[in-house]
Each structure stands twice: as C-alpha cells, then as structure tokens.
Amino acid sequence: MKKVLITLATLLVIITVKAQDSDSLRFERLSLDSMFISEVEEPKGGELKPKILHAEPLYIDLIRDLGARKGEKEWNVGFGMFNKRDFNKYEALVEYEWAPIDRLGFEIEVPVTIFTASEGTPVDITRPANRIESLKLATQWTFLVSEKAKTSLALGYIHEFEFVDLNKLGQSELFKGNIYNPFFIAAKRWGLNYHTLVYTGPRIVKDFDMRREFSYEVHTNFHYMITGTRNFIGIEFNKEFHEGKFEAVMRPQMRVGLAENLMV
C-alpha cells in the first residue's frame, strides 16, 4: 500500500510539473505575440498613427501594408514557373511601393512573361510571344483602422498600361490597351495569431479597337501567424466571375523571414 501511495504521489508531482511547464510555455508565447504586435502597432511616443498587424496574401499582393505609415517603402521581386504541355512559362516582376503620407500607399510594378519550348514539342506548335505585360500603377488608401475590432478597411485602384508583345516592338504602337481595377479590402485579426482578409472588385480589360471584357474578382484568405514573428502559413482562395463562368484557384502559402528586411 505504501508503494502505491508513493507511486501516486510521484505521478501527481510529474503531472503538476508538466502542467506548470505547459502554462509557462503558453504564457511565454502570449508574451512574445503581445510584444511583437505592440512593436508594429503602437505609436512610439504618440508620434505615429496606430496600425493593425495583418497577414497579407502572397498571390494578390497589397499595394502597401494596411494602415501604412509615412516613409515606409519596399522593393519586391517575384518569380514563377509553369510547366505547360507544349511550352514552359516563366513569370517575373519587379515592384516598388511606398507611403508618402500616413495610410496612403503607391506602387509601380513591371511584370514580364517569357515562354520556352518544352522538350519534344512538335515544330508546328505556335509558342506564345514573350512580353513585358504592362506598366502597373496603383494606389491604396486605408480609410479605417479600428484598434478595438482589430480591423482595417481600404479602397484602392490599379491601372495597367498593356504593352504589345516584344516581337512587335517598333512595328506598332507601344501600348495595346488598358486594364482598370478598383478594389476594396477588409482585414481582421482574430486574437493574436489568426488572420482573415477579403479583397474584391471589378476588373475591366479594354484593348484598343476591341470591346471591353468585364470580370469580377473575390479573393478570400485565412492565415496563421507564427508566435513572435511575421512568418505565417495559410491559404488563399482566388475567385473570378467572367462571362457567366466561375473560376476558383486554391493557393496554400507560407512566408518565412530570413532577415529583418528579407522575406520569402
């Protein structure tokens, strides 16, 4: 009986220690999250306007952080590769974004698409032309930052001047049309780690001497931000309504910070 009591007492001590360790770890994580969020959101000495830390989607890139502060700026470089049946498609972009005043961001972007033939492609297959897609100019205004609701709302507009294909440069006009894309963004952080965001708006493509093509986009996002960092894992749902058809793409994604000013 004595041995049984000793064994039970030992188990109780182990369980208590583990519970304390678990509580300590949970408290440490909460402290890290709170400290990191405070560094981003709370004004230093009351000089900066408040902003909410949100996890932002990777495919549909926002113009600037929601609630951007004057003086913020950033260079971004992107690259993607698609293996089609008859050719390979490579996409790249360079963009610069900045905030000249609080909560107003601007962006300049130049995307490029290059096509190469796949191995064994028949000679009679026509490969798409390489092209600089467009000169993209964009702006985004965060008109609401609610610290209590951990919510940000923004309006924006993207205008793209579409270039002709590279093999037609010098043979015709430099631009072949315009793309008009006003949008609305609503983002909310739930607790310390969970983030949701909706990005929606119409997209109008108007090539010269062609009729307008109208589509409507709705992009929804859910992310979990890792404790004490801006690293996250999540999923982005890109949806488009076009000429009575509905298309949707699900994009799992992850962001990792390699340095204070470098993320992939």
Report the alpha-carbon distance of residue 246 to residue 51 in Å, rounded: 35
Residues 6 and 61 in one domain: no
Residues 180 and 116 in one domain: yes
Residue 46 lies inside a defined structural domain of this protein: no
Q: pLDDT class for 221, splitting at 50, 70, 90? A: very high
- Give me the mean pLDDT over the 152-169 stretch: 91
pLDDT digits (tens, 9 = 90+) for 2-41: 554 455 555 554 444 444 444 454 444 455 445 556 666 6
Residues 214 and 95 in one domain: yes
Q: pLDDT class for 42, splitting at 50, 70, 90? A: low
**Residue 132: which CATH number?**
2.40.160
Tell me which DSSP letter residue 239 carries.
Answer: E
Residues 93 and 116 in one domain: yes
Residues 150 and 195 in one domain: yes
Residues 56 and 16 in one domain: no
Residue 229 lies inside a defined structural domain of this protein: yes
Report the alpha-carbon distance of residue 133 to residue 163 in Å, rounded: 6
Residue type, 20: Q
pLDDT digits (tens, 9 = 90+) for 202-211: 999 999 888 8
Looking at residue 13, its pLDDT comes to 44
Number of structural domains in the chain: 2
Residue type, 89: K
Residue 62 lies inside a defined structural domain of this protein: yes
Residues 70 and 131 in one domain: yes
Is there a contact between 207 and 231 (Cβ–Cβ < 8 Å)? no
Residue 105 lies inside a defined structural domain of this protein: yes
Buried b (16+ CB within 10 A) or exposed e, 117-131: eeeeeeeeeeeeeeb
Residue 208 lies inside a defined structural domain of this protein: yes
- Structure token pair of residue 235: 């999923």
- Global pTM reads 0.80
Residue 221 lies inside a defined structural domain of this protein: yes
Buried b (16+ CB within 10 A) or exposed e, 231-252: ebebebebeeeeeeeeeeeeee
Beta strand spans in 28-150 (E): 73-83, 87-101, 104-117, 131-132, 134-146
Looking at residue 40, its pLDDT comes to 65
Residue 210 lies inside a defined structural domain of this protein: yes
| H-state helical runs in the chain | 2-41
Residues 55 and 32 in one domain: no
Residue 173 lies inside a defined structural domain of this protein: yes
Residues 229 and 111 in one domain: yes
Domain coverage including residue 161: 51-263
Residues 25 and 93 in one domain: no
Report the alpha-carbon distance of residue 119 to residue 125 in Å, rounded: 12
Residues 26 and 6 in one domain: yes
Residues 113 and 153 in one domain: yes
